Structure 1
Amino acid sequence: MALLHIGDDPWLLEHETCEKLYRDIMEQLTLRQRQSRTSDKFSQLSATIRLRLKQYNNEVEQLLQKIGFGVNLTSAELERRNRQVETLRSKGLHMQKLFDDQLTVKNNEERRTLFGASSSNFSDDDFRRDNVSDIRSTQRQMIGEQDEGLDNLYQIISRQKNIAQTISNEVDLHNDILDDLDTRMERTNTRVRNETQHIGVIDRKDNTCGYWIVILLLFLCIVLVSLS
């Protein structure tokens, strides 16, 4: 049986694509290792690598399903291709481990930087060797500080409550004053209306008196004319 070339079998093309994707991801992992965990470049590379790892795993699974599809292969060739897929799977697991380990290493580096050189030799074993009584003493101190903080918070809330009660009393007093003012305004309006009506009556009476005076003057004039 003649050897197959890449151009003769689509499976070989897809296998080569997976190999190329593997090399690209490894290059990005190397570049990511050089970046600071808090940098934008690290975040961008992490997102890109995460997507490409998912793409790589999907393509490897598709490659497994397509072994021998549409092509007559010997049992030896089928076995060889199965081993190639398993190799690709192992590479995928290796890349995922590198991806996760890089973040762990970065966190440890930042932790050592945060604690400084004086505590760089302080290991987890040192924590376990701490005196239990010292740990309990620290816990009691923390609980005491929390209790003191709660007492201060209670005092602040009590003062706020008193202020709120005072404001509420002031509002009630102002409402009473407004109600009393409204009552007085209503009484004043009533008096104004009554006085206006009285003025109208007086004004009408004044007009009637004027008419009678004119009539009397005319009557006197008629009498004087008759006598003359």
Structure 2
Amino acid sequence: GTPTPTTTLSASPAKLNLGSVDATGTSKSKKVSLTNKGAIAAVIGSVTATPPFVVAGGENTCSGQTIAPKKKCSFEVEFAPATPGAVSDQTIEVGYNGASPAMNLSGNGIAVTLKAPSKETFSSVAAGTSGKAKKIKISNPATVSVNLATTSVVGTDSGAFTITANTCTVTLKAKPGNCTITMEFAPKSGATGTQSATVGFSYTYGANAGVVSIPISGTVK
């Protein structure tokens, strides 16, 4: 049979960097236009992006449409990285009577790092007594929420520190989500010198994980 006549769609912008996005998050969408540079109509089936890029649910005047010569259509693209890392050279597949337009999509997935104090020092107390409670605040600067594992106190003198209240449980919401671990320094009878331990928890978001680990110390009077 006779070959199906073909046409050419050109994409604008041909290069699109969707920037830095927290892993498991989604970027703002960016518009891509296709122009029919050929002499016959472009009959478009579907428009799909290579993951972790997606054709967004916004206005799409390309999929399932016939574009006359010199006419344009457009759709929106988003970057939704599941894991941290730079992604580049991804494309858009346009099913029509012609070759897919040249497109280069790139973006950078960012690991979620919770903000926590670098260390906490408690006021000196006598052995066998409890000091004033100290609130340790942890915050989530990311655009995605994280799931928190159980908070624990570990280390040589872990028994000298008591958690009296804790809102760092289950989920830490996206920015400006924060939580507080309230602790007291309560060195055991007979304890002397500086007591030190570490307080913290691990967390996950999608297939990714992180950890918060805060060195804590106090001196026995």
* TM beyond 0.5: no
More helix by share: 1
TM-score (norm 1): 0.22
TM-score (norm 2): 0.22
Q: Larger relative CO (CA 8 A, sep 6+): 1 or 2?
A: 2
More strand by share: 2
